[in-house]
Amino acid sequence: MVALPAGRIALLGILTIVAYGTWFYGFGVLIDEIDAELPGGLFPLTAGYALAQILTGVLGVFAGRLLDKKGARVPFAVGAATGPVLLFGSSYASNPWVFSLLFGAGGGIVGATAFYHLTQTIAARLAVGAEISAIARLTIWGAFASPVLIPVTEVLRATIGWRDTVRLGAVSVGLILALAAVKVDPYGVTRSQTPSPSPLLAVRAAVSIPRIRRLALSSLASSLGSSVLVVLQVPAMVAAGLDRSTAAGLAGARGLAQLLGRLPLTFVLRRVSPRVALRGAKVIIGVGALLLAASSTLPVGIAFVVVAGLGIGAVSPLEGIYAREVLPPEDLGTLMGALHLLLGIAAGLGPLLAGVIVDLSGIIWSGLLLAAGAAFLGAAVLREGPVRAERESVQP
């Protein structure tokens, strides 16, 4: 039996919670107050959020490359020295475009150096022989980012204002990144021994393998579907007949219900392969989108919460686990970053396409058919088995 490095996985989990909560989830809580103080409309503010999303993907490739070549210490240290400083600086902006530039750049660097594409790779390399358990445990920690940091951000906003809330978040993520740089990998075991000569060569070699292309297509499709589901969940329930407060409450519960997809993972993966489990999770997301379209009553809304939470919660760790099996281990960090870039593009494209479809049709459930179809497509293309036939031992 392989012992998990529980303390270091916990530190990676806390980093995940704070990094996602600092801007990915927290921004939606602060945007109205920022808009009131920095007049100029929502467009410049949402542009900053979009910039953070794009930079997370683009810079994530380079952060993954640093991980492959140098180990975890270097990307964590770079992230600690740059991203939080820019986030902190954004809190002093008096112009919405200046705020968006600083906030977007800082959020992008934090995302590139602390989101799952990096932390899942590190967890797997820290726990050789127990990679599945390490990634599953890490994502259980991460599931608390939304239910913990959203209400905490709201309390801070109401108490100390948006500027000090941004500053406190920046300091927090900077300190945890710095601590992770020192404590997570003191022996350099997360460094790859034989990475490709360049990130471009690593990506070109990877896309020549059909199994990897299918993983990328599957991830793109399900990311598109999940993003549509999340964006449309409240208006879809309202359009179906639920009142707005109930719909908002169910949407919040859906985020917490993602734990349902993560807590039983080690149990499930003793019985089926990661590929089979991942296909099942994507089918469940598709079913959740159809339930959302039919959520005219509270029982159906609750069913949506459970089903969609289960599927979305399971997909994130399962994609990391399956990617570790499929992607070349010497370039795992680089390729996980590249995959995250594609997921970000799909997550941004999905709501855009759904918006066009809903505008043309005049019915919101037409966008949810896009979400369901994309999720089912993501499941369908994963028809091949894993690269390695053997199964690692799974820790309870």
CA–CA gap between residue 322 and residue 305 (Å, rounded): 25
Per-residue pLDDT tens over the stretch 274-308? 999 999 999 999 999 999 999 999 999 999 999 99
Per-residue pLDDT tens over the stretch 74-101? 999 999 999 999 999 999 999 999 999 9
CA–CA gap between residue 342 and residue 332 (Å, rounded): 15
Percent of the chain predicted with pLDDT > 70: 96
Per-residue pLDDT tens over the stretch 194-222? 888 988 899 999 999 999 999 999 999 99
CA–CA gap between residue 3 and residue 130 (Å, rounded): 8
pLDDT band at 384 (very low <50, low <70, confident <90, very high): low
Cβ neighbors of 233 (< 8 A, separation 6 or more) are: 247, 250, 251, 254, 292, 304, 308
CA–CA gap between residue 250 and residue 150 (Å, rounded): 15
Find the distance separating the first CA and the last CA of the chain, reported in whole Å.
10
Question: What is the predicted pLDDT for the residue at 102?
Answer: 97
Asked if the model's pLDDT at residue 161 lies above 60, the reply is yes
The arithmetic mean of pLDDT across residues 159-172, rounded, is 96
Asked if the model's pLDDT at residue 387 lies above 70, the reply is no
CA–CA gap between residue 309 and residue 126 (Å, rounded): 28
10: left (phi over 0), alpha (psi -120 to 50) or beta: alpha
CA–CA gap between residue 176 and residue 12 (Å, rounded): 9
Asked if the model's pLDDT at residue 173 lies above 50, the reply is yes
Question: What is the predicted pLDDT for the residue at 2?
Answer: 56
Per-residue pLDDT tens over the stretch 368-383? 999 999 999 999 999 8
Q: What is the torsion angle, in degrees rounded to the nearest 10, for the CA atoms of residue 38, residue 348, residue 262 and residue 141?
A: -30
Question: What is the predicted pLDDT for the residue at 395?
Answer: 39
Quick one: tokens of 253? 């519960």
Q: Which CATH number is 199-380 given?
A: 1.20.1250.20
Q: Is 31 exposed, middle or buried (0-12, 13-18, 19+ CB in 10 A)?
A: middle
Question: What is the predicted pLDDT for the residue at 128?
Answer: 87
128 within 8 A of 120, measured Cβ to Cβ: no
Question: What is the predicted pLDDT for the residue at 390?
Answer: 36
Quick one: tokens of 208? 């020549």
Q: What is the mean pLDDT of the chain?
A: 89
Asked if the model's pLDDT at residue 391 lies above 60, the reply is no
Domain ranges of the chain: 6-183, 199-380
Asked if the model's pLDDT at residue 393 lies above 50, the reply is no
Neighbours of 142 (CB within 10 A): 26
List the alpha helices (DSSP H) in 186-297: 199-207, 210-240, 244-256, 265-269, 274-293
Per-residue pLDDT tens over the stretch 333-346? 999 999 988 888 88
CA–CA gap between residue 344 and residue 58 (Å, rounded): 10
Helix (H, G, I), strand (E, B) or coil at 302: helix
Q: Do domains 6-183 and 199-380 have the same CATH topology?
A: yes
User: What is the fold of 6-183?
Assistant: Growth Hormone; Chain: A; (1.20.1250)
The arithmetic mean of pLDDT across residues 117-126, rounded, is 93
pLDDT band at 3 (very low <50, low <70, confident <90, very high): low
